[in-house]
Amino acid sequence: MPLFYFHLRTPDGLVPDDTGLDLVGIEAAYLDACRSIPAMAAELLQRRVDPSRHAFEITDRGGQVLMEIPFTEIAGANPAPARPAGADWRAAQAGQQRTADLTASIQETERALLATLRETRALLDRARKVSDRGCGLVQA
């Protein structure tokens, strides 16, 4: 079986494949590269790296470039996340609504706590003034 190397072309240069794969032919090499592009593009996006500027260069044992496969050929120029179907979509919407409700509840609780804190500080300030007057510290 022929040996194929899958070098990764990036904006910073070429990341060589030193191992290669034994495959039955160039078609199998093409399909192998195509299967790996979506996962690699997703990893790049998670790291905030543009996958559209990446490509595989498939070479033979002698280093001859047999094929170049831009990630955009498989992942598209601007891959959009797929919308979940059916029940998954409804579950996602329900989860978003629960999150929005919890956020509103937390914000309401925070406002109430801040109001209680302001009231407590005012009461402590008044108590200190009354206490200071009782000890003769504050002159009228």
- Supply the range of the domain harboring residue 39: 3-75
Residue at 16 is within a domain: yes
Domain count, the chain: 1
Q: What is the predicted pLDDT for the residue at 135?
A: 66
Mean pLDDT taken over the chain: 85
Confidence of residue 95 (pLDDT cuts 50, 70, 90): confident
Residue at 112 is within a domain: no
- For residue 103, CA distances in Å to 57, 64, 83, 90, 96 come to 48, 58, 24, 20, 10
Residue at 118 is within a domain: no
Q: What is the predicted pLDDT for the residue at 29?
A: 93
Q: How far apart (Å, rounded) are the C-alpha atoms in residues 111 and 35? A: 51
Residue at 8 is within a domain: yes
Q: Is residue 55 predicted with pLDDT exceeding 90?
A: yes
Q: What is the predicted pLDDT for the residue at 54?
A: 94
What is the per-residue pLDDT across 104-135, written as a single tens digit (0 to 9) for each? 888 898 899 899 999 999 999 998 888 887 76
Residue at 92 is within a domain: no
Residue at 62 is within a domain: yes
Q: Which whole number is the average pLDDT over 69-96?
A: 68
The pTM for the full model equals 0.53
Q: Is residue 3 predicted with pLDDT exceeding 70?
A: yes
Tell me which amino acid residue 8 is.
L
